[in-house]
Amino acid sequence: MPAVDSLSRPVPATAGIGLRAVHHAEFLASRPAIPWVEVHSENFFADGGRQLAVLDAVRRDYGLSLHGVGLSLGSADPLDQEHLARLQRLVERVEPALVSDHVAWSGVDGVCLNDLLPVPCTAEALVHMAARIGQVQDRLRRQILVENASSYISYAGAEMPEWEFVATLARRAGCLLLVDVNNIHVSACNHGFDPLQYLDAMPPDLVAEYHIAGHSVVEAAGGQLLVDTHDAPVTAAVWTLLEAALARIGRRPVLLERDARLPPLAELVAEARIADTLMDARHALPA
Amino acid sequence: MPSLLELQRDFLAVMLRRSDPATLGRHLQQRGDLARRIGVYRTNTLENFATALGAAFPVLRAWLGPEDFRAMAWSYQRRHPSQSGNLFNIGRALPPFLAGALAGTPEEWLADLARLEWLVQEAMVAADDTACFDPRALAGVAPMHHGELRFRLHPSVRLATLAHPCFAAWEAHQAGKPPQAPAQAGTEQLLVRRAGEGIELLRLDAGSHACLDALAAGEPLARVVAALEDIAPGSDPGACLAGWATAGVIIGVEPV
């Protein structure tokens, strides 16, 4: 397990949930017995107000992970310094155990599409992204995690498979990896690669977190397409792939992401705890 | 393989419908179901934008209905695409966009509704400040300098002068009722601020609005009093200021 800066409550190698606004009040009222949560960083870029007050209250009692969707680490544009400054301010305020974003880009020429778009797996993109991750880490004065994104297209000019790109990127940038097991499954089905080959390429010493989530299946004349919608329970195939990751890489914090059609909080926590059951069956938590 | 910049420019142009999908397709391995795969990204781009915009303008969304709101959002996105990884900012240009698009139509009041909702958004994320105005802060100020005093408002305070009254539509939506178009024309002056865990809207009379507007602009007390006198001759500025201090709208005074 790699060392992660932890200035507040730690994020242990157990299950956590993505905490969304619809559950804020219930979470604070019911205080579910789950050790940590992850929130989307950009939702807390405010100067003040209720949302930030909720986060302040949550981080006093729970391990906290800040998961960003807006740094656009793979963009050809310069890094958005205002965005980075707001992230830095938030990190300094809540002192999260983990800070992450994606191996993706969101916009170019000053226009942002606010989606996680696939980076071409080329030497040019590798050098470019590693440098940008370095800038972010220098600014935040800590290691960040980068997450493999799901994808629906693949570039004709790719110079290496995605798993090689992601692993090499982490080594070059000196960052950690957030392995999204659902994203591997989605992309593997959409592009026809072996998800186990992807997992085998992930350097265990750099993997600091897993994500699991549900997805949608779109049927059409061209065949099935899996879409990373985070709007459904985790599928059996993704649980199986998580077990494979645990066997190959080891026990890590596992985050259940759910962003749409959110179930009641207790149901979400219960689903996340399936990951604990899987981990406990394989690896006892260190005392 | 094009450069990273060239590839991303082609991708962006297709997402924003400035180019045909083939512009991107020439860089991809996929051939047969290109439109469907690109369509996932296009849908994400549009839906993420419309969903975030709808969260910032819930009353406008309720008035238009989800389908018309989504269509309006996409039209707005083509003119004012997001410029940040933080979707909060996308709503800033919606009020002037609607003012231009709806001018002279029966729905032009929706631009004022959007202005009001954007001020609500600003109030929700404004800085915290728990200071309370303490009258003792004035004790050491010589009467001859009272006119130079500058009062500080809570950071969440926003003032609006709307050409179409929208308070009722906003209030109805808070109560879970469908918003109604203004029953009659006429200017409405409002104060928007964060109060407790929510947002408070207050209708202002002309004098109070003039007073608060001058305070918000950082004017010294002498000019605040003059502004009040211009709009509402004979008003009691002391009572006006004391009322807003008691309500927590005025939270401090800058040293002279």
Closest Cβ opposite residue B8 in set A52, A108, A227: A108
Quick one: pLDDT at residue A7? 54
Q: Please check whether residue A119 lies inside any domain of the structure.
A: yes
B105 in A contact zone (CB under 8 Å): no
* pLDDT at residue B1 in the model: 84
Inter-chain CB proximity A225 and B40 less than 8 Å: yes
Mean pLDDT over B66-88 rounds to: 96
pLDDT in tens, A91-139: 999 999 999 999 999 999 999 999 999 999 999 999 999 999 999 999 9
Please report which confidence band the pLDDT of residue B140 belongs to, taking 50, 70 and 90 as the band edges.
Answer: confident
On chain A, the residues whose CB falls within 8 A of the CB of B42 are none
Residue A138's CB is within 10 A of a number of other CB atoms, namely 9
Give domain status of residue A211, yes or no: yes
Partners of A70 on chain B (C-beta within 8 Å) are 84-87
Which position has the higher pLDDT, B146 or A287? Answer: B146
Average pLDDT over residues B36-60: 95
Which residues of chain B make contact with A104, given a CB cutoff of 8 A?
Answer: none
Judged by CB atoms closer than 8 Å, whether chains meet at A122 and B16 is answered as: no
Cα–Cα separations (whole angstroms), residue B86 to A22, A43, A80, B131, B255 = 19, 8, 10, 30, 37
Tell me whether residues B45 and A115 touch, CB distance under 8 A: yes
Question: What residues of A are in contact with residue B5 (Cβ under 8 Å)?
Answer: 76, 108
CATH number of the domain within which A271 lies:
3.20.20.150
- Structure confidence at residue A285 as a pLDDT band (50, 70, 90): low
Asked whether residue A9 is domain-assigned, the answer is no
Task: Note the pLDDT tens digit of each residue in A146-197.
Answer: 999 999 999 999 999 999 999 999 999 999 999 999 999 999 999 999 999 9
Check CB contact under 8 Å for B82 and A112: yes
Residues of B in contact with A154 (CB under 8 A): 28-30
Within an 8 Å CB–CB cutoff, is residue B17 touching chain A? no
* Interface contact B45-A113, CB threshold 8 A: yes
**Number of domains present in the structure of chain A:** 1
pLDDT tens, residue by residue, B158-208: 999 999 999 999 999 999 999 999 988 889 999 999 998 899 999 999 999
Give the closest of B5, B7, B44 to A115, CB-based: B44
pLDDT band at A286 (very low <50, low <70, confident <90, very high): low
> Least CA distance to B24: which residue of chain A?
A155
Asked if B125 lies within 8 A of A51 by C-beta distance, the reply is yes
Percent of chain B with pLDDT over 90: 86
Q: Which residues of A touch B45 (CB under 8 A)?
A: 113-115
User: Is residue A1 included in any domain, yes or no?
Assistant: no
Does A159 map to a domain?
A: yes
Taking the CA of residue B149 and the nearest CA in chain A, the distance in Å comes to: 27
Judged by CB atoms closer than 8 Å, whether chains meet at B4 and A218 is answered as: no
Domain span including residue A37: 15-281
pLDDT at site B253: 94
A228 belongs to a structural domain:
yes
Res A5: pLDDT: 42
Are B33 and A222 a contacting pair at CB < 8 A? Answer: yes
| Nearest Cα residue in chain A from B194 | A49
SS3 of residue B2 by DSSP:
coil
A219: pLDDT confidence band, cut at 50, 70 and 90? confident
Nearest CA in chain B to A76: B5
CB contact under 8 A, A223 and B87: no
Provide the pLDDT for residue A2: 43
Enumerate the residues of chain B whose CB falls inside 8 A of the CB of residue A49.
Answer: 124-126, 128, 156, 194
Q: What is the 3-state secondary structure (H, E, C) of chain A?
A: CCCCCCCCCCCCCCEEEECCHHHHHHHHHHCCCCCEEEEEHHHHCCCCCHHHHHHHHHHHHCEEEEECCCCCCCCCCCCCHHHHHHHHHHHHHHCCCEEEEEECEEEECCEEEEEEECCCCCHHHHHHHHHHHHHHHHHHCCCCEEEECCCCCCECCCCCCHHHHHHHHHHHHCCEEEEEHHHHHHHHHHHCCCHHHHHHHCCHHHEEEEEEECCEEECCCCCCEEECCCCCCCCHHHHHHHHHHHHHCCCCCEEEECCCCCCCHHHHHHHHHHHHHHHHHHCCCCC
Interface contact B3-A124, CB threshold 8 A = yes
Q: Where are the domains of chain B?
A: 1-103, 111-256
A155, part of any domain: yes
Q: What is the pLDDT of residue A3?
A: 41
Whether A286 is covered by a domain: the verdict is: no
